[in-house]
Amino acid sequence: MSAASFGKVAVLMGGRSAEREVSLMSGSGVLKALQSRGVDAHAFDPAERDLAELKKKGFRRCFIALHGRFGEDGTVQGALELLGIPYTGSGVMASAIAIDKVMTKRVWIAEGIPTPRYALLRRGDLGRERVIGMPDELGLPLIVKPAREGSSIGVAKVQGYSEMQGAVEAAAALDADVLCEQFIAGDEVTCPVLGTGDTARALPVIRIVAPEGNYDYQNKYFTDDTKYLVPCGLPEGEEAAIQALVLKAYRVLGCRGWGRVDVMIDATTRKPYLLELNTSPGMTGHSLVPMSARAAGISYEDLCLQLLASASLDQEGVPA
């Protein structure tokens, strides 16, 4: 598609989630890339402007560079469906399921896709006895995280019983549902996907080597100490097997456009366990989808154009 054929494009960035800062970085990069290729692209922050303005101001497409709640969870997608404005990434249902790590696990387990064992704690069920029993159920160390946050916000690795209460309370401050998850020791990798349905393809796997194995918010976005290995250097056949598994996981959730799946590989058994699927991945200078795309011969600018060209609606062809 030519740049002119996209019409007036809104790059949705910022928003109201805990990942606002990262979203602004992602959106700024996307905006600059699209404008450099002649696209009539404009920044649009839903935290500062009503989405109804998109229709009034004549926007024809939206590139969603929002992360987390109120952007990656189906809410904005639903509003754009009502407005009849095509948007990048997954639709309402897939976005709503993927943002919820527990719902994602339930679907994957039903489809035979391996994911770490887990237990769900709800805000009204955080008594000391229940919380302190999690290590007996899942082993130590274990991971505690909010069920619906991204960018490792609120995630804690619990090494002992005494750390459980504090970790759960910190996660519960961010979300009514707290996910306690079996810790998988081994290689941490991620695999992006581009496309929809049978035409979707997995990009090269990236192996992540973070300082002291701690790939937290700071090490994701604001330091240069984390190493990203592409090619990933995994044993022969493992990368292809992970790509096939990731494609299956992406398709069963009904995702479209693009996404990224985070995976842990058990150091002893070499079995991969899928952690979560991001339907609006980061596009910052430290982000992984552009890095993987570059290894596949796709520049940042071309990636942005390709994603914009894939913008669509769940209810394609239905009058708004």
Catalytic residue from among 81, 262, 273, 287? 262
Residue 136 among the catalytic residues: no
Catalytic residue from among 26, 95, 151, 219? 151
Residue 60 among the catalytic residues: no
Structure token pair of residue 281: 């991945």
- Gap between the Cα atoms of 319 and 120, Å rounded: 41
Encoded amino acid at 100, one letter:
D
Question: Quick count: other Cβ atoms within 10 Å of Cβ 237?
Answer: 8
Catalytic residue from among 282, 287, 292, 300? 282
Residue 157: in which H helix or E strand, if any? strand 156-158
- Gap between the Cα atoms of 305 and 309, Å rounded: 6
Catalytic residue from among 23, 26, 219, 278? 278
Residue 262 among the catalytic residues: yes
- Gap between the Cα atoms of 289 and 293, Å rounded: 6
Residue 278 among the catalytic residues: yes
- Gap between the Cα atoms of 246 and 263, Å rounded: 9
Cα dihedral 85, 300, 276, 236 sign: positive
- Gap between the Cα atoms of 71 and 11, Å rounded: 12
Residue 260 among the catalytic residues: yes
Residue 133 among the catalytic residues: no
Burial-class residue 17 by CB neighbours within 10 Å (0-12, 13-18, 19+): buried
Contact by Cβ (8 Å): 97, 253: yes
Residue 233 among the catalytic residues: no
Catalytic residue from among 221, 250, 273, 300? 221
Question: Quick count: other Cβ atoms within 10 Å of Cβ 136?
Answer: 9
Question: Quick count: other Cβ atoms within 10 Å of Cβ 281?
Answer: 25
Residue 29 among the catalytic residues: no
Q: If we measure between CA atoms, which residue out of 185, 178, 177, 138 comes closest to residue 161?
A: 138
Reported residue count of the chain is 320
Catalytic residue from among 259, 276, 280, 292? 276
- Gap between the Cα atoms of 120 and 180, Å rounded: 6
- The catalytic site residues sit at 19, 151, 221, 260, 262, 276, 278, 282
